[in-house]
Structure formats: structure tokens, C-alpha cells
A and B are shown apart, each in its own frame.
Chain A
Amino acid sequence: MKKRDDKNILRKIMAIRGMGQVITVAFGLVVLCIVFGILNPVFFSNRNIANLLRQIAPILIIGIGQSYVLITGNIDLSIGSVVGMSCMVSATMMTKGVNPWVAVLITYICCLAIGIINGQLVANCKLPPFIATLGTMTIARGIAQIVNNNYNTDSIGAAAKGFRDFFYYGKNFGVFNTIWIAAVLWIIFNFILNKTRTGRYIYAIGSNIEAARLSGVNIAHITTTAYVVSSFCSCTVGLITCAISGMGTMDAGNGYEMYAVAASVIGGVSTLGGQGILLGTVIGASIWGVLQNGLQFAGAPVAIRNIAIGVIVVVSVLLDVIIRKGRPIRKKKNITTVNKAEIKA
């Protein structure tokens, strides 16, 4: 009797759309871990695992944001610059003596503004998302540079200890806070994506924007929401970065938009929109982290790590496109049904 229940639960899990792909990738992750574990016994030490998780957490957070945007069928290239902007804006204020928590609040407001601009440019002004967010990417980086007159900031000082503990150094129940932040954000955004109207609309406009519009979905509103979520995530990661180093660095978050795409796409989020689950993003971010960590142990230089990540992203997208290439055959069928219709008419 109990066995049958187990089976049902398993079947239910497998019925979730995109789960098959996630399980495949998770299998890859396990293989990767085993390989690195054999190459280097220290890989599975408690210390390294804690480190690894702290490395993965920020990538998971921006990955969540990028996944939201990708599922709507768009892309956010401004992520890395918003991370830098968040880092610099918060650090500058803290060095000027602003209360850290006030600084955090103001930083969030600034970063969310970028998200709103992104959403409006894409949904209302109909700019291609690539160009629109490429523009805001440059703007945000410019802001990161200008807030402290083109210098990295000094140390944010002792007053910010609480801030630094909250975002990076502190622990709760034996787990580092960064990991808690990532976990809580994941739970919240996963809930929104799966259980709310907003989440449903995000999938709908990514799948077929015209059908969604004709079903009464406010496209501009939902697209903007996705971009704001992305900016919120980037801002959080910027604050974590600031907490790690205890200062603001102008090129913080450089290239993070690519890491966010990597986490999403490796985890099965389609760059064409409408498909993907946040569980996949967890696996995608983990693969990114394990590769970085493992290759570092193996003595590979940064350049090699970059190449590895780049290759994996391109291969993932290629697989995504190839899997969908099976579709044109089906599409052809549809063309003939249309013809049939014309002929019948």
C-alpha cells in the first residue's frame, strides 16, 4: 500500500513540466562531483562544501532573476552592472556615515528603478531586450563609477559589521547567512512563479505573447515585474559582494549576466521563453559552482574556467535549440492542416 503511494508521488514529480531535463542535468552534476572528488579528496571536505555553497548562492540568486526574464522570452544583460552599482552605491553611502540599513534600502530603490526602466523599454517602447538592457548595462556601470568619483571606496568600517554579518559572514543554525538568503529567495520566487497569477502570466507571455494579450494579460506590467525581480536579485548579490570585501569595487559583478544565463540555461530554462523551472536553476548554478571550484582545485587558471563555462553554456543552448528542432517537422504538419483548411473553405 505504502509502496503505491511512493510511486504516485514519484509520478507526480515526474509530471512536472521540465522535470525530465532537470533530472538529466542533476545526473551530470553528480558525475561532475564524483570526478572532482576522485581528483581531489579535499573536494568533499566540510570546509570546501561550505565554501562551495557560499560560492553558488550569489549565482543562484542572479540565476533566479535571469530565469524570470528568460521565461518571459526576454533577456537581462544589465545584471552584472546592477550588481556593481548596488555594491558601489551601498558602500559609498556607508563610508559617508549613512546607517547601513538605510543605505541598503536606498540601494534597493535605485536598483529596482533600473528594472522598471528595463521593463518599460522592452514592453512599452518595444525595444529588442538585447539592446535595451545593453544600454542600461552601460548606464548602471557608469553609475557604479560615478558615485564615488571613479574610485573604489574605502573600507565600509566597523559600523557596517552587522551588515556584513547579515549578508555574508554570519551563521544561523550552523549555515552561512548567504546560503539562507539564497534559499529564502528561491522559496519565495519559486512560489510566485508556480502558484500565483503573476507567475502563470510570466509563462504565458513567454509561450505566446499574442495569445496572452488576447486573453487579457497586461503584457507591460508582467514584463516589468520580471525585470524588477531580476534587478532585485542583482541588487541583493551586489550587497553580498560589498559585504564580502567590506568595500565598494567598481567592477564588481563583471560578467555576472553571463553566469546568470549559464545557471538558467544549463538548468533547462529555454532562451526562447515559456519553459523552465527554478529547480533547474539551482542545478545550473551548482554546476557552475562545482566547475569553478573543482577546476580551481585542479590548478586550472581563470581563463580555462571561463572557457569551460562558456563552452557549457553554448552547448546547453545548442541542445535546447536542437531539441526544439524536432518541432519544425510537426510545424510542417500544421502548415498542411492550414492548407487543408484553405482548401475546404
Chain B
Amino acid sequence: MQEYIVEMEHINKTFPGVKALDDVSFNLKSGEVHALLGENGAGKSTLMKVLSGVYTADSGEIKIFGDTVTELTPKKAQQLGVAIIHQELNLCPHLSVAENIFLGREITKMGILSSKEMSKEAKCILDKLNIDISPDEIVGNLPVSKQQLVEIAKALSTNSRILIMDEPTSALSEKEIDDLFKIIRKLKGEGCGIIYISHRLEELQHIVDRVTIMRDGRYITTMNYAETTLQEIISNMVGREIKQKFPRVNVKRGGKIFEVKNLNAGRLVRNINFELYEGEILGIAGLMGAGRTETTRAIFGAEPKESGEIILDGKSVTINKPIDAINAGIVLVPEDRKRDGLCTKLSVRENIALPNLDFLSKSCGIVDENEEKAIANKMVKDLKIKLPDIDVVTDSLSGGNQQKVVVSKWLARNSRVVIFDEPTRGIDVAAKVEIYNLMNDLKKQGIGVIFVSSEMPEILGMSDRILVMCNGRITGELDIEHATQNMIMEYATKFEK
């Protein structure tokens, strides 16, 4: 019988307004790889942040190596042997491998760094792991896969026995994944426990002993990997019932208005092809990092394209900059309203007017304030934005109202295609419904709507057709009559070679 090195019992964690972890239990044995699975935002990261001391649980018990731990801080967790290897690596690219491994606890002699000794020590650690990297190499010159190994070496050099790996293979090639797995098996043999978070379900078979599945902040089940199937895992991940009603409207599908052909732009936009018809909402589903946002940004001209053609109303349009797309009649309601959507120091009126000053100003460039006020007032009324008056600074609004301002600045002009990227993220239910109604209105007006969302219920509830993306490619297209959560999940985890 293997001993438990981590036991988390009945963990609860509430963020303002949301129960992030609801009575979650999780354990890890020494010498095992335990996969933690779930959709985006199922609570995996929150749970791991509790284990590594970043968040403090509201209630529940954590035992590490059999001892109950209270008041866990990141530093304490590290001392107890918990190490996280993040998706984004936390290395200093300009320093050498040895310098990175010993960062913050350098070996010194009378206050002077003894590089030789650190180099030797680092070499020892790397050799033990069979990692073929010179300790004097500059980290920035190494490929990502090797950098990841350096991160692992760094974690082990502090005698970490509990490794949390968050999507370690997302940026690696087949061969590099194999190498990583070899090292994971070796660590396993030495009695380390590894918590493995990944969306690539196929690769689990090579290393995983047990899986725990979470959904909506709750613990669902733990299974021995050998006794389960991929199908069973997927249905446990997505198996929620859709209780919410969505205000779907049915409109007869019209002619083709928009088409994207062979679009390529970076690693996460590979050979994208799709069409959009009048009177439909086209949903784009996928997991985090699938390339959905990147695709919409490439279409809109916010990121440079490598190749590809964009056809609007039968005519090919050239889009190099956002202004080209706006002029052509394609607009993008961006995902991150704080970063991409709002000038938070400016007023609601000025934000709504910003992309529309072309028709809101007189020929001499003077802004027509009456027109501007009229359009801002109209949008505020139409979208039921709650605010004292249109001259308040957007910074002072609630998230839902801010989101509505971002949406309204794009609806104030006549467009042919409106792309919504996660339009309901972080807003309350009432505001969500208003955004849904808005999309329906556009659909009724014959405007093409592209709707990117990570929330499966709303994608299924609102779209007429669904594209599923994974790793920069479209891996599936589903008709709404036949689409199910399981099917979306299957396509969303279909990593093609």
C-alpha cells in the first residue's frame, strides 16, 4: 500500500459571488501520476493554488506527508516540497541554467557567488534526471521543451516531492513529449507524486495512474485510469445538465455573407476555413488556448496574417489593420474589455463614439457633440446600460455595464459581421440575457454573428452551428440539432499531429 503524500479534505473556497471550490477532496500517493481533469474553470487551478499556498481555503483540511498543515503560504508550501511547473515558464531568460536553478538561494563564499560550485551542483541534478543540458547554457537560447526541463530540475533541486504540472505538453513536439514522459516515469520511480493537469486526454494513457475529475468547482469522481475509458472521462467532465433557458430565435437561414479561406497566423491559427450565413449565429467552441481569440483577431486585422482570404458579400477584402475591417463592415467585440475594449479614463459617451467618429464628425474634423450625445443616449437606452449620465468615466461602472458599453460602441455603426469574443465573461445573469437578446436582434436583421465562448451551455443554447477548435485548427463542425457537450469535448481535445 502506497502512502498518501497529499490529502485534501472537504476544501471550500468562495470568491465574491462565486463558489470556486465546493467540498472538494483530492489525494495523491507517492510514486503516482494523478491527472486532474475538467473543463476551463472547473476549479483545477484554484485547487492547485490552494495546495501551493497562493489561495487560502475557507474551510477544509490539508495534510502533506501525513501532517496537517494550517496557514499555508507559497513559501511554506515550497518548504514542504510542493512545486508548481506553470504553463508559462518562470525563468529568467538572460541567466544561465545554473543561475536559474539556484535563483534566490545562490551558493556564496563570503558574500561572493561561487559559480563553479553552482555549476557543478546543477550538473549533478541534471545528470540525475538524464537531462542533457549544459548548466552554463543561457536559458533563453534553449528551446521551450528544454526550458521546461530546467524548471523541473529547479523544482527538484529544492527537494520537492510533490510536483504540480499545469499543461506541460502544450508547447511541445511529439519527441519532446516522449522525453518529458521518460523523466516523469523516472521521478515516479523515485517516489515523487505528480499532479498532472492536461487537456490532451489521449496522452494520459502513457503515464497516468489515476484521474480525478472536477466540474463547476465540485469533485465528481476519482478513477483508476486502467479501469476507465476516454468516453467515460469525457462524459464526467461535461455531464452537467443545462438548466438555464436560452432565448433562442429561429430565423430562416439566408445567403452566404462571409467566408474565411485558408487563414494562417501563427501557431494558433492554422488553415482556418469557414462560412457564415445571413440569419445565423455561428458559435466557436474550444478549450483555453485553442486559438479562437487569435483567429478572431487575425480576421479583424489586430494581428498580422501569414496567408488567407477573407470574403465579404462575395467580394474579397484586404484587412491589414483594424480600420480596414471596420470600414469593410466587420467588427470585433474583444474578449478582455479592460485590456482591449475600453478607454477606462474616458466617459461612456467618448467610448461609444470612439470607433464611430468617422460619421460623428463634420468634414473639418470637428466632433459633432449633439450627434455624439444622441447616439450614446440611444445605445444606453437600447442596451439598458445603468448609469447616472453618459459623461461618467467608464472606470466607475460595474463589469456588466462596462461590457455593454464595449458592445454598444460596435453596434452603433452598421456592420455586416459582428464577432463577439466571450461577450458574457464575468457579468451577471441578467446582463448575459440582454447580450443574448442583442445577438438575436442582429441575427433577425440579417447580420452575421460569430460567437466565441468557453461556456458550453451558452454555445449550445445560442448558436445555429458550432465550430470546434483545438490547437489552432478547426477540428469539427456541428449542426445544432445534433450537437452535444460530449461531441464538443471530443473535438476540443482532438490534438492532431
Whether, in the assembled complex, B425 has its beta carbon less than 8 Å from a beta carbon of chain A, the answer is yes
From residue A259, how far is it (CB to closest CB) to chain B in Å? 26
Cross-chain contact A216 with B323 (CB below 8 angstroms): yes
B342 CB contact (under 8 Å) in A15, A208, A341:
A208
The A interface, classified by DSSP as helix, strand, loop or mixed, is helix
Please report which residues of chain B, range 388-427, place their CB below 8 angstroms from some CB of chain A when the two chains form the complex.
Answer: 391, 393, 395, 399, 409, 422, 425-426
Cross-chain contact A338 with B426 (CB below 8 angstroms): yes
Whether, in the assembled complex, B76 has its beta carbon less than 8 Å from a beta carbon of chain A, the answer is no
B322 CB contact (under 8 Å) in A17, A207, A216, A337:
A216
Whether, in the assembled complex, A344 has its beta carbon less than 8 Å from a beta carbon of chain B, the answer is yes
Cross-chain contact B426 with A210 (CB below 8 angstroms): no
Contacts of B355 in A (CB 8 A): 215-216
A197 CB contact (under 8 Å) in B43, B342, B344, B367:
B367
Cross-chain contact B425 with A345 (CB below 8 angstroms): yes
B365 CB contact (under 8 Å) in A17, A198, A334, A336:
A198
Known A-B contacts A200-B353, A340-B16; A207 and B334 likewise in contact (beta carbons under 8 Å): no
B300 CB contact (under 8 Å) in A17, A214, A343:
A214
Please give me the residue from chain A that is nearest to B342 by CB atom: A211
Whether, in the assembled complex, A275 has its beta carbon less than 8 Å from a beta carbon of chain B, the answer is yes
From residue A73, how far is it (CB to closest CB) to chain B in Å? 11
- How many angstroms between the C-alpha atoms of A204 and B334 in the bound complex? 17
Please give me the residue from chain B that is nearest to A18 by CB atom: B345
Whether, in the assembled complex, B437 has its beta carbon less than 8 Å from a beta carbon of chain A, the answer is no
Contact with B along A308-345 (1 / 0, CB 8 A): 00000000000000000000001001101111111111
Cross-chain contact A341 with B426 (CB below 8 angstroms): yes
Please give me the residue from chain B that is nearest to A327 by CB atom: B395
- How many angstroms between the C-alpha atoms of A204 and B347 in the bound complex? 10
Contacts of A218 in B (CB 8 A): 323
A213 CB contact (under 8 Å) in B302, B327, B346, B426:
B302
Please give me the residue from chain A that is nearest to B364 by CB atom: A196
From residue B67, how far is it (CB to closest CB) to chain A in Å? 29
Contacts of A203 in B (CB 8 A): 343, 345-346, 350
Whether, in the assembled complex, A53 has its beta carbon less than 8 Å from a beta carbon of chain B, the answer is no
**Total residue contacts A-B, CB cutoff 8 A:** 123
B347 CB contact (under 8 Å) in A17, A195, A217, A275:
A17
Please give me the residue from chain B that is nearest to A204 by CB atom: B343
Contacts of A274 in B (CB 8 A): 343, 345-346
Please give me the residue from chain B that is nearest to A342 by CB atom: B41
Cross-chain contact A210 with B46 (CB below 8 angstroms): no
Cross-chain contact A195 with B367 (CB below 8 angstroms): yes
B366 CB contact (under 8 Å) in A195, A201, A213:
A195
Please report which residues of chain A, range 159-211, place their CB below 8 angstroms from some CB of chain B when the two chains form the complex.
Answer: 195-198, 200-201, 203-204, 206-208, 210-211
By the criterion of a CB under 8 Å from any partner CB, how many residues of chain B are at the interface?
53
From residue B335, how far is it (CB to closest CB) to chain A in Å? 10
From residue A53, how far is it (CB to closest CB) to chain B in Å? 30
A340 CB contact (under 8 Å) in B15, B326, B346:
B15
Cross-chain contact A17 with B393 (CB below 8 angstroms): yes
Whether, in the assembled complex, A212 has its beta carbon less than 8 Å from a beta carbon of chain B, the answer is yes
Cross-chain contact A212 with B354 (CB below 8 angstroms): yes
Cross-chain contact B15 with A339 (CB below 8 angstroms): yes
Known A-B contacts A195-B367, A208-B342, A214-B334; A340 and B18 likewise in contact (beta carbons under 8 Å): yes
- How many angstroms between the C-alpha atoms of A330 and B354 in the bound complex? 25
From residue A15, how far is it (CB to closest CB) to chain B in Å? 6
B361 CB contact (under 8 Å) in A197, A213, A342, A345:
A197
Known A-B contacts A216-B323, A218-B323; A337 and B399 likewise in contact (beta carbons under 8 Å): yes
Contacts of B358 in A (CB 8 A): 216
Please report which residues of chain B, range 265-303, place their CB below 8 angstroms from some CB of chain A when the two chains form the complex.
Answer: 300, 302
Contacts of B15 in A (CB 8 A): 336, 339-340, 343
- How many angstroms between the C-alpha atoms of A203 and B334 in the bound complex? 20
Please give me the residue from chain A that is nearest to B55 by CB atom: A339
Contacts of A197 in B (CB 8 A): 357, 361, 365-367
Cross-chain contact B20 with A217 (CB below 8 angstroms): no
Whether, in the assembled complex, B340 has its beta carbon less than 8 Å from a beta carbon of chain A, the answer is yes
From residue B458, how far is it (CB to closest CB) to chain A in Å? 10
Contacts of A339 in B (CB 8 A): 15, 18, 20, 46
Given contacts A15-B391, A207-B345, A345-B39, 10 further A-B contacts (CB under 8 A): A17-B393, A196-B367, A197-B367, A208-B345, A214-B300, A216-B327, A338-B425, A343-B20, A344-B455, A345-B41
9 intermolecular pairs with C-beta atoms under 8 Å apart: A200-B357, A203-B345, A211-B354, A214-B302, A215-B355, A217-B354, A274-B345, A336-B16, A343-B18
Please report A residues at the B interface, Cβ cutoff 8 Å.
15, 17, 195-198, 200-201, 203-204, 206-208, 210-218, 274-275, 330, 333-334, 336-345
Please report B residues at the A interface, Cβ cutoff 8 Å.
15-18, 20, 39-41, 43, 45-46, 216-217, 300, 302, 321-323, 326-327, 332, 334, 338-347, 350, 353-355, 357-358, 361, 365-367, 369, 391, 393, 395, 399, 409, 422, 425-426, 454-455
